[in-house]
Structures are given as structure tokens and as C-alpha cells.
Chains A and B, each alone.
Chain A
Amino acid sequence: MARIRLEKLRHSYVAAPARDADWALKDLDVQWDDGGAYALLGPSGCGKTTLLNIVSGLLRPTSGRVRFGDEDVTDRAPDQRNIAQVFQFPVVYDTMSVYDNLAFPLRNRGVPEAEVDPRVREIAALLDLDAMLAQRAAGLTADGKQKISLGRGLVRSDVNVIMFDEPLTVIDPHLKWRLRSKLKELHQRIGLTMIYVTHDQTEAMTFADQVVVMHEGAVVQIGSPVELFERPRHTFVGHFIGSPGMNILPCEVRDGVARFAGMAVPTANRAAGVASGARTEIGVRPEFVRFADQGIPVRVVRVADAGRHRIVETRHSDSVIRVLLGEHQAVPAHTAHLAFDPAFTQLYADGWLAGEAR
């Protein structure tokens, strides 16, 4: 199986959708290549779980096709698509041992016992579950159960895609980190296509090679974590990715140059071609703002200590501009000037990156 392609996918949970808001997914065209690690990132209600369930076959789309390689699988049931899915809440068969849980998908498909045993043990070792094979699955902690769910997907040799629906939701925060790294390690070792749905940008950005950012049922941008971070195509992507998100400042455009606070602000993209009457904004991440001797005058309002860096909130009239400072850099007392790194400052028109095709 080569790649997964979604063509003109639309989905509505309402029987007769009339308005835009009735559609959970609005006209998606996405392609995922074999073996990659992908993330579907977006806030609650953006449609990412709907999309995941359509790919896995648990949901039939209102219109559009799903193709695995060259085959149209839109009408096929989940167990005929060679996929595995890990859900938000760990799903284990309580009455069975860890071993039996892992063996379950193989036994259901009639795999002979002699083949089941080495496979189960191999996957259990990969997931650090080998010491617990004889235990009852119900007695494990949440992260152990999620590993079993994951293991049930890995144990099948016919699986081509593993899908994760916010799998770290119920995991203890201090274990979340470990399980996340484990998933990354697994991907680096096994090389299966993995699609990961989350609303947490840290999870998405550290796990995936390509992130699909979704907002209100539509794909806003697809790109590598670096691209999404350095060159967001939409202010939503700038805002949603990064903690804290991008500073978005209303500006005006005169003679092809963006102007904020009465000063010209050099931007990485050109302001030419911006329709008059469009809402223009400058986007720059706190990481690329620094204090300087001259520049935009601001007053320092608040300093939040995040341990390894500090977030300084400054204001220029009504606009809030955040600056990221290292743990031991000095913070100006009351007033200061800000300079934006031109290579990472972008101009947006009506939310979209100016000068780009939508």
C-alpha cells in the first residue's frame, strides 16, 4: 500500500445540511505518503476526529472518496482496511491477560498459535510490556493499557497505518512525556505510517514529520513543524502553534510597506498585491522579537516566569506584544523598544499570508 488519499471529502452529521455550520468537514483534499508520521492538529470541534474515523472506516463520509494506494476503500469496513486505531480511552479486554489481549487480533484472523507467540513477545518487548504478559489487563495503569491498545495494532503484520485519537488524554502528565517519546521511537524503528490526532501542539509538533492544521472543518495548512512555525500561512496557524502563539498586530500598508506604530516594519513577504480594504496584520512570534535601543516603543506590563524562559507582555497603545527572553536575560523595567526579526515577520491580509495563492 502506497499512500492514503482523501478526495473531495465532505461530511455532515446532520441529515439535511443547509448551512455552512452543519458540515463537520468541508471539502478536503489531503494526501499522506507511506511510512510518514503525520499529525492532525486543531481545536475541539475542528473535525479532526471525524476525519480520522473516515480514514479508519468507522464513519462513512457524506461525499468524497478515500483511497489506499490505488484502491477505493470508501465502502470497506475497518477490519478490511488493514488499519489499527488507538482511542482516547484505553480499550482493553478486561477478562483477558496482557498476552491474550495482544494475541486477540491475530487469533480472530485465524493465525496459527505457533506464529502468534513469537509475534506477541516481540511486540511486548518493544513496548516494555514483556514483564507483565501474564497479568490481567484490567490491573494495569492507564499508560500500560494504552500500550496494550497500541500493541494490538502493531502485532498484526497486515497493518499499514496506525491511527491515534488523542491517545495521551488520560495519561498522567509525567508519564505522558514518556509515552510520547515511545511513540516517536516506535515510528523511527518500525516505519509504519502513523496518523496522530491531537489538540496539543507540542504533541503534534514533536511527533510528526508533517502536520495538518485544521480549523472548522477545513485544512488551513499542511507542512513540516518548521514550516508551520516559521512561515504560517494563516493567522490561525500562527496563533494556534507555539506557546505563546504568534503576535498578531493590526497594521496599515502604505507604498507596499507595512506600518505599525508609525514606523515601517520590514516583512519577509512582500506587501504588493494586497487588495485595498483588506484587513492587514503583521504576525511575528515572541521568539523573534527582542528588546533593542530603538524600534517600537512599548511599556512592559507583566513578566511570566516559565522556568526555562520568560514571557514578557508589553503593550503599545491597545496592542499586546509578547517577547520571549532566556532565563537569565535582563528584563527592562518600564518602557523599552522592540525590534522584529524581518526574516520571520510576515504580513497577512484577511488572515492569509499576503501575496500567496490560497
Chain B
Amino acid sequence: MLELREVARRVGAQTHIHPTSLALRQGEFNVLLGTTLAGKTTLMQLMAGLVPPSAGAVWFGGRDVTRVPVQQRKVAMVFQQFINYPNQTVFENIASPLRVARTAEAEVRSRVGHIAELLQLGPFLARRPAELSGGQQQRTALARALVKDADLVLLDEPLANLDYKLREGLREELPRLFAGRACTVVYATTEPSEALLLGGYTATVHEGRITQYGPNGVVYREPADLVTAKVFSDPPINVAQVTKSGRRFHLSAQVSWPAEGRLGELPDGPYTVGLRPHNVLRAAGKDGGVPVDCRVLIAEISGSESVVHFDLGGMAWVSQSHGVHGFKVGAMARFELDVSRCLYFAPDGARVGG
């Protein structure tokens, strides 16, 4: 099990990673979710031992491995740009870590064969990476990482350079490939939907800090603070300022709703409310839906859903609903806010309810 204990990384005057502690789960997919430059790659490099931490220690399997050089750790890494040895065949590429470890030839052949079967690379073993498609090249890189039987497998946005359909396919395969192995898997991505679909645990990373780490469902539905909620939303979460007075939340003079249950016990005052676009729907008279009449700004209708941007008291809010609905740009339309799904944040950003 991999642990980062108060690990920090500073380069010159810039702090890339603020002192962070993280205990990853073994046998689970651990996703690092954040925007580009949030620090995901740096964190992975720290975990692998490719860069030394400026402070703190890295522990693995109960041992302090901070000073252990990366070649001696059993780590495998897959990168965004399909990294393969260009002059070697696919077979040799996959076999390379085994050859470095001086494994017997018979065992090399059997293990490479097994992994190649698993990743559907059987017919391509004699080819060079340049002759393969992007998806196949990435599978080769994955195979090389898997054949090693490493304790820690790091995947840095491995699907980002692939066609979206290929991405979908590989994304489904990945958890299956790693199921039943005892290694710790860390997967970095910028897309919340990917984090959700991969299953497992998610750590949201923002500006060099890990804002929350926990099971996917928890981080998604119970974010610790506004930053986590924003990182873990695509399309971006709708945000507005509300005031609580009496036992109601007031968004504007016309729009308010009752503060139910525990929310009613919060102190009166200003709060920030976050509501994901799929909880803002076309008015259908649903129970608990708070209607708002707004002007439509942009209507994006795809085959299966309607994404509508509208003006909510000066803020641009977004609604995402299944099905195709006609919306006229510039006209007023009625939307419903499913306030039972609202997340409430105190002025300092911490979540207080929802």
C-alpha cells in the first residue's frame, strides 16, 4: 500500500505540491482527478520516485522508500503519448522489463503471450510500434506495464490521445485487466466522467493540493468543499449565492425554497449553492422542483440530450436534460431546479449540507 506522508515538492520559488498526505488503496483504481497543471503528474512522479520530494516521505508496503531509486522499486508507468521502443517489435517491447530482470526465455515467452492475448495484441507481435494504430500502441505500452507484475502501476492520462470511442472501449477494459491483481493502480485524468466510470477511489487535485480522497460516489455526491465540487463536475457545476433567513433559502426576490431537515438548523447568512446541470431540468411540474423563468442564451441539442444555457439573475446557468427539446434562443423559458440535490457551501468553501 502506497502512502505519501506530508510530501511536498518545490522547484525554485514555486511550490508544485503543498505538503500532502495520502494513503492509497491497494487492489483498487485510485484516480487523481484535476485540471492540467493541477499537480497530478508531479504526484505520480513523486510516487514512482522519478523526482525526490522536497519534504516528507513516501512509504510503500510498510517501508520508507523515499531514498530508494526508481529502478529498484517495482513500478510501472504508462504515459499519455504512446511511449514504446520504436526500433523493437511489439514482442520485444513487452518483453523488455522481463529481459532487464534476466527472466528465463521460456517464461518470457509465456508471460508475454498471456498478456498479449489479454490485450488483443496477438496478431501484432512481430510488428513495430510505428505500424500500429494509436490504440494498439497504447495497448503495447499497457502490456509492457502489466507484464512486469509491478506493485505500483501509474497511468498518466493514458487515453487522452485516443479517439473518444477507443477511449470508451479501453476504459471499460482497464478495470477488468487489473481486477484480481494485488498492485496499487493510480490513474490520472482531467475528466470527471472518466473518474466515475473507472470506479474505485478518487483524489481531487487542485493547484498542488489534494482536496478530498475517498470512494467515487462519496467524493462526487458529498464533496468536502466547493473546489472539490467544481473539479468533479463536467459540465461545470452551477453556482449561485443564496441567503438563508427564517427557514428558507433565498436566491432572489422571486426564487426561494424551504430549508428542510438539517439544513434548517444552519445559521442564517450567506451561502453558496451548487447544483449540477443535470439537476436543472425543463419544467415538468416535478415535486420539489423550484421553477425559474429565464432567458435562453445558448441551446445545444445533441441527439440524446439538450444542454441549455440560460440567464439566472445575471449568472449563466446550464441545464442538461435527456431527450431533445426545442428551445428558442432569446426567448423566456421555464426551468426547474431540483433543490433536493443542491449542495450548500459556507462562505469559506466548506460544504455544510446537501
A residues engaging B (CB < 8 A)? 43-45, 172-174, 177, 180-181, 184-185, 188, 199-202, 205-207, 225-226, 228-230, 239-245, 285, 287, 304-308, 311, 327
* Residues of chain A within 8 A of B234, CB atoms compared: 173-174, 177
Please state if B300 and A230 are interface contacts (CB–CB under 8 Å): no
Chain B residue with Cβ nearest A244: B168
Q: In the complex, which residues of chain B have a beta carbon less than 8 angstroms from the beta carbon of A241?
A: 303
The distance in angstroms between the C-alpha atoms of A64 and B110, with both chains bound, is: 52
For the complex of A and B, list the 6 residue pairs with the smallest distance between their C-beta atoms, beginning with the closest.
Answer: A229-B303, A205-B302, A308-B278, A206-B300, A225-B303, A173-B190
Residues on A with beta carbons closer than 8 Å to the beta carbon of B168: 243-245
* In the bound complex, CA of A181 to CA of B164 (Å): 19
Q: Convert B298-312 into 0s and 1s, putting 1 for each residue whose CB lies closer than 8 angstroms to a CB of A.
A: 101111100101000
Specify which chain A residues have a CB less than 8 angstroms from the CB of B307 in the assembled complex.
206
Residues A305 and B298 in contact in the complex (CB < 8 Å), given A172-B36, A177-B234: no
Q: Which of A43, A206, A311 contacts B163 (CB 8 A)?
A: A43
Report Cα–Cα, A240/B133, bound state, in Å: 18
A242 B235 Cβ-Cβ under 8 A: no
B: residues with CB less than 8 A from A are 35-36, 133-134, 163-166, 168, 190-193, 196-197, 199, 216-217, 220, 234-236, 276, 278, 297-298, 300-304, 307, 309, 320, 322, 324, 329
**CA–CA, A113 and B156, complex, Å:** 49
Which residue of chain B lies nearest to A185 when distances are taken between CB atoms in the complex? B298
Give B37's nearest chain A residue, CB to CB: A172
**Which residues of the other chain, B, contact A287 by a CB distance below 8 angstroms?**
304, 322
Determine if B298 and A188 form an interchain contact, defined as CB atoms under 8 angstroms apart: yes
Give every chain B residue within 8 A of A45 (Cβ-Cβ): 133
A69 to B309, CA, bound (A): 35
User: Do B190 and A181 touch (CB < 8 A)?
Assistant: no
Set of chain A residues within 8 Å of B163, measured between Cβ atoms? 43-44, 199
Give the contacting residue for B329; candidates A172, A188, A200, A327; CB below 8 A: A188
Interface contact B302-A304, CB-CB below 8 Å: no
Contacting residues, chain B, for A185 (C-beta < 8 A): 297-298
A117 CA to B75 CA, complexed, in Å = 58
Whether A306 contacts B309 by the Cβ 8 Å rule is: no
Contact A226 B196 (CB under 8 A): no
| B236: contacting residue among A174, A184, A311, CB under 8 A | A174
19 more A-B residue pairs beyond the given contacts A202-B302, A206-B301, with a C-beta to C-beta distance below 8 A? A43-B165, A43-B166, A44-B163, A172-B36, A172-B190, A174-B234, A185-B297, A200-B164, A202-B164, A206-B302, A225-B301, A225-B324, A229-B304, A230-B303, A306-B196, A307-B193, A307-B196, A311-B197, A327-B278
Total residue contacts A-B, CB cutoff 8 A: 96
Closest CB of chain A to B184's CB: distance in Å?
21
Q: Chain A residues near B164 (CB, 8 Å)?
A: 199-202, 243
Nearest residue (CB) in A for B304 is A229
What chain B residues lie within 8 Å of A230 (beta carbons)? 303
Cβ A228 vs Cβ B303 within 8 A: yes
Given contacts A173-B191, A306-B196, A307-B193, contact A240 B302 (CB under 8 A): no
How far apart sit A305 and B168, CA to CA, in the bound complex (Å)? 14
Structural contact, A308 and B320, CB atoms closer than 8 A: yes
Q: How far is the CA of A242 from the CA of B305 in the complex (A)?
A: 10
Q: CB < 8 Å: which of B134, B235, B236 contacts A44?
A: B134
CA distance A201 to B167 in the complex (A): 12
Q: What is the distance, in angstroms, from B236's C-beta to the closest C-beta of chain A?
A: 7
> Closest CB of chain A to B340's CB: distance in Å?
10
Q: How many Å from the CB of A180 to the closest CB on chain B?
A: 8
Pull 20 A–B residue pairs with CB atoms less than 8 Å apart, ordered by A: A45-B133, A172-B35, A173-B35, A173-B234, A184-B298, A185-B297, A188-B329, A205-B303, A205-B304, A206-B301, A207-B300, A225-B303, A229-B303, A229-B304, A241-B303, A285-B304, A287-B304, A304-B196, A306-B196, A307-B278
CB A334 to nearest CB in B, in angstroms, measures 19
Contact B217 A177 (CB under 8 A): no
Please tell me if the beta carbons of B309 and A181 are within 8 angstroms of each other in the complex. Answer: yes
* Residues of A contacting B300 in the complex (Cβ-Cβ under 8 angstroms): 180-181, 184, 206-207
A193 to B95, CA, bound (A): 52
- Contact, CB under 8 Å: B303 / A305: no
* Chain A: minimal CB distance from B219 (Å): 11
Q: Using CB atoms, name the residue of chain A closest to B303.
A: A229
Min C-beta distance of B195 to chain A, whole Å: 9
Q: Once bound together, how far apart are the Cα atoms of A244 and B133, in whole Å?
A: 22
What residues on A are CB-neighbors of B197 within 8 Å? 304-306, 311
Q: Is the CB of B199 within 8 A of A305?
A: yes
Return A323 CB to nearest CB of chain B, in Å. 14
In the bound assembly, the distance between CA atoms of A35 and B156 in angstroms comes to 41
Please measure, in the bound complex, the distance between the C-alpha atom of A226 and the C-alpha atom of B326, giving whole angstroms: 12
Q: Does the CB pair B298–A181 fall under 8 Å?
A: yes
Cα distance, A230 to B303, chains bound together (Å): 8
CA distance A244 to B300 in the complex (A): 20
Q: Is the CB–CB distance between B165 and A226 below 8 Å?
A: no
Contact partners of B36 in chain A: CB under 8 A = 172-173
Please name the residue on chain B nearest to A229 by beta carbon. B303
B21 to chain A, nearest CB (A): 26
Residue in contact with A307 in the complex, picked from B134, B166, B192, B297, CB distance below 8 Å = B192
Please determine whether A226 and B324 come into contact, CB atoms closer than 8 angstroms: yes
Shortest distance between the CB of B296 and any CB in chain A (Å): 10
Minimal Cβ-Cβ distance residue in B for A198: B164
CA distance A291 to B278 in the complex (A): 22
